[in-house]
Chains A and B, each alone.
Chain A
Amino acid sequence: MTQLLALLQAALVFGTVILFGSMGEIITEKSGNLNLGVPGIMYLGGIAGLAGAFLYESSAAVPVPLAGLLIALLCALAASMLGGLIYSFLTITLRANQNVTGLTLTIFGSGVANLFGGAMNKMAGGVGQISVAATSGAFRATPPFLSGLGVFSGLGFMAYLAIILAILSSRFLNRTRRGLNLRAVGENPATADAAGVSVTGYKYLATCAGAAITGLGGLYYIMDYIKGTWANDGGIEKLGWLAVALVIFARWKPLHAVWGSYLFGVLFWLYLYIPGVSLDRSSQEIFKMLPYIVTILVLVAVSIKKSRGNEPPANLGLPYFREER
């Protein structure tokens, strides 16, 4: 029983990282932009938040946790939105190929993050020496009114924020005028344009807002998942790709992404909790494939069922140019 609880707790923490990532990507993809820069944006958000908190904590005599938290949040949001803005400018204004731009953004993000991560390691006096204890503590503190929720209690506030954001974005997409306009832009931009919806505006806004949410995943990873330090092990990138897979698994619906992310977490950590089996490193890796295998199975099942509601936005990955004939 305790084993099961431990597995679920680990899954919730793990799931929250990719839930942010894929929620942001769902919003982005609803506008017809396929941003494969998710890992890169998570890197940007993570490193910017860490850098902000690190500089604050090393300059302040007695760091105030709440101030560190706000600085980290602001830095993460700004950096990841900048990533989204670069992507938007290249693909929407200059109409560059979306796949190439996204992949490049991933490489760019990981490069930038590792560069600054390395530099901060040096300033802190060695690899793994970065510590933003006060800020990270603030991120990991459970809001008092949220205790006593069983397996859901004892998580950092961002885990709850992710669920709230998922509910909000689902309501936004399905219940509001702007949400309807956004969906139309991703499905059929020429139609949305003819109906008086600003296609460029919606694409820019959705991509930047999506990137901001995605970047929060990176911040959560840094502050909560690895407890406020920097590791050069490509962990964020791995989770970033899982977030992209989760978008497909959730069939572009934020609420499905919530349970999907926790399911991915369970599947990812399953190998540690299989009773009576101790696995060596190579067989562990086989188990870590499970989320991807499940995604493939979902893809197969969805394409057999062929329901129109489960398909990606029809114009996903394509540029839009009004006067093209």
Chain B
Amino acid sequence: MPHPSVRTLLPDAADAAAATARTAVLEVRGITKTFADFTALRDVSFTVGAGAITALLGANGAGKTTLIKVITGLVRQDSGDVLWPASGGSGADRPDSLFSYVPEESGLYERMRVEDIVTYFARLSGMETAAIRAEMPGWLERFKLHEKARQRVIQLSKGNQQKVKLVCALINKPPLLILDEPFTGLDGEGSLLLRDALEKLRAAGTTMLLSSHRLDQMDLLADHLVVIAAGQKILDTTLKDARKLYRQNQIEVTFSEPPPSLDGLPGVLEITWNDGIAELTLGPTASPNLILRALLDRGCQVENFLRHSPDLTEIFHKAYAHGGGGAPAGFTGKGEAI
């Protein structure tokens, strides 16, 4: 995968997915939820488009899990609606099998065999036995679990258990997959495997709503962002637009040979050096094309010319700052929860 900072310059799967996100699978309208004197959600609205990964982000206690529980019908909202446009249902009256939900750090029946537990959840989702028999081998193979089908859940690694949960959630091909903190408790390899699995699912057209603290992982996965702070939505846009929205007016230039003086470049207000990389701060009327031409005209050996693009951690922090939430609690600069 390319570094997130160059993502805007390269066509990728996310762009394609975003382009296909035409139809809304889920519409959340004006959800408010209060517990005693505490307002957990305040007039939250957003839409989950088909075929895309929507990241639901927020600091600890921002209201993400409560929002997911309202969407899944586990908690009843005080006001607002959860609509399923494709089916025409709403709230608790939704038809079955509109979504599959995997809660944060959820477990499985440890003594059940993998194939039995998948069959159980598939049948609860309304699948017939014949359909389950036809579908299960493919799903198990896709997640490299086919050789573990007869093993009991307790014998599996945590990463494989997470994959079993995904198979349980996906076998009935729900229009929407809701994952609450799917990366929690996974090590580096487990996270990589899960991310790979989710990317493949997106490529296959599965719509997902992901809540996570792992901004580094979400940066690589998300097409759309919904950021909430203190129960209120503060950002609702595509990741691409968020990068544009929060990018600093900077260009990073790497030279293969020490350049001559960079003074007087057109539209450049300030030049700072950082590990051999020149960071050019642009004025409001500066043109990257003119700057590049000026550098080449001066005989500079340009190795890399990059318009700075903020990563998700930066976007998140700025969204919190602009949204009045202040610095988000529970986040490090590396995009991981502490």
Are A and B bound to each other? no
